Amino acid sequence: MREGPVADRIACAVVPALPLQVLLRARSWTGTPAAVVDRDSPAGRVLWASPEAVRGGVLPGLRYAAALALCRDLRAAEVPAREIAAEVARLATVLRRFSPAVEPSTEEPGVFWLSARGLLPLYASLAAWRGDLLDALRGGGLVVRAAVGFTRFGSFAAARTAREPGVFEDRGAEREAALDAPLRLLGVPPADRDALERLGAFRVRDLLALPAHGVGIRFGPETARLRALATGDLPDPLEPVAGEEPVRARAILDHAEADAGRLLRIVESLLDPLVESLSAGNRAAEEIEVRLRLDDGTGATLSVRPAAPTRDGPHLRELARLRLEAARLRAGVVEAEVEIRAVPGVPGAGRLFADREGRDGAAAGRALARLRAEFGPAAVARARPRDGHLPEASFAWGPVPGVLPPPRAAGGAGRSGDGSLRPLVRRLHDRPRPVGAPGAGRDDSGGWNPGGMREGAATDRAGPFLLAGGWWAREVRREYHWLETRRGSVLWAFHDRRRRRWFLQGRLE
């Protein structure tokens, strides 16, 4: 190798703004102003912004509402952490074709360090090795940069700034390139970046000119660590992460199979040995993916997730059966592949029965997993709080990661049928339901009946509790009341002053 001893070389591959690139690829928003936000609400903060959005004045750290005011064509969405983790794992698998030692960054998704050893003798030079590495990563439609240097920080700075050539011949050239790297491109937090620019520090050499003690006091730990890495005060040995070997099996069928029962037996014959192999490595199945190739040339991918990582074969077979029975295949199956995504095992992962007291959370989790397997992941959801002025806008539906604890109220409790105390839960309608005004809907006794004949007439009322706002979009003026009915129900209703109508918002149970 003309570039120097391979043993001293370390490479860095960077996928700039990986969550943003995942979003642009999934939504086909390439070439448009787009951003990734931490939550899909006006108060959500921009985490990453596309070049088109940056030209419109959108920068990370802005509130979504402020960014939208600057760039009216801005499109924004959340990117779930599981999608980012899955993409990082996929990229790490691709990089292991070029080096057995790959370390994904734990602080910034899309940054990888790898040793320039192992498979390198298969290439004519480091430059050829780097070129093939970039081609492999760009095959997924991503923008990727890479540099080969002698230190972790030097290769990272060169990759982030797209410094050419991407292979340094000596440590002096790497050092000069690192010192000249703009801080804006090295992941410095926005607040620290702005403060440094006010001090006239725009590049790494300017940051090193500042006292180390003062940087540690005035700025955050990310900036202080960046300075320590740039000076070489911190050791930076490569800490590779071993990739999990996929647990999969495949069967090629002699004839196209369209019968659901026979297809299920084929899938089970592939699944059972895989589940048994998990015990040898003390691993448990987190997700099962069944990939089917159909006779018409198309394919279908079916995935199921148990409530918790498990090696319980009967339960996994049941989930696979429910998912296959719910699938609608357009043609017969000519090839079937089953893959298990495994995680390190947990105590009791293979136990079907366990001693439990009270509520059986594991049984509830298995029931939810069956619902997801039969009706799809969206069949099980929970309400998650979010910033919203109106009660119906204060929550959004999202996936359920597991069995939730029983609801607890912060303010009070009611009596159950046996006289014991129970939490009070406020249940909301998706949309407020219009009801008749007092005096319009009366029962036989002449009382107001906002909850329908089954609830009985309202016997007591507390309120009004005023809610006003929305002047920035559409003004809202509501007077909320608690209504107790003759049957003992507690209703939550309001009078809309602007629309001059009564609505039922929900109830207290």
* Sequence spans of domains, the chain: 1-242, 247-351, 413-508
292-296 average pLDDT score: 87
* Residue in the structure block whose two tokens are 């939208």: 68
Weakest mean pLDDT among 10-19, 23-32, 213-222, 346-355: 346-355
Chain mean pLDDT for the chain: 79
Multiple choice CATH, 247-351, 3.30.530.20, 3.20.20.80, 3.30.1490.100, 3.40.50.300? 3.30.1490.100
pLDDT at 79 > cutoff 80: yes
* Residue in the structure block whose two tokens are 């990582």: 309
Query: CB-based burial of residue 273 (10 Å sphere; 0-12 exposed, 13-18 middle, 19+ buried)?
Result: exposed
pLDDT at 29 > cutoff 60: yes
Helix axes 260-280, 313-326, angle to 10 degrees: 150
pLDDT at 403 > cutoff 60: no
Of 241, 240, 269, which is closest to residue 253 (Cα–Cα)? Answer: 269
What are 272-290's pLDDT values in tens digits? 888 888 777 677 787 888 8
* Architecture of the domain delimited by 1-242: 2-Layer Sandwich (3.30)
Pairing outcome for strands 476-485 and 426-435: unpaired
What are 322-331's pLDDT values in tens digits? 888 888 888 8
pLDDT at 347 > cutoff 60: no
126-138 average pLDDT score: 88
Q: Where are the beta strands (DSSP E) in 219-332?
A: 247-257, 283-294, 299-304
137-155 average pLDDT score: 86
What are 162-200's pLDDT values in tens digits? 766 688 888 888 888 888 888 888 878 878 888 888 888
451-460 average pLDDT score: 69
Give the pLDDT confidence score for residue 440 in this predicted structure.
Answer: 52
CB atoms closer than 10 angstroms to residue 248: 14
Of 434, 430, 479, which is closest to residue 452 (Cα–Cα)? Answer: 434
CA dihedral over 204, 205, 206, 209, signed as positive or negative:
positive
Give the pLDDT confidence score for residue 26 in this predicted structure.
Answer: 82
500-509 average pLDDT score: 82
Weakest mean pLDDT among 48-57, 312-321, 376-385, 414-423: 414-423
Give the pLDDT confidence score for residue 350 in this predicted structure.
Answer: 46
CA dihedral over 329, 332, 334, 338, signed as positive or negative:
positive
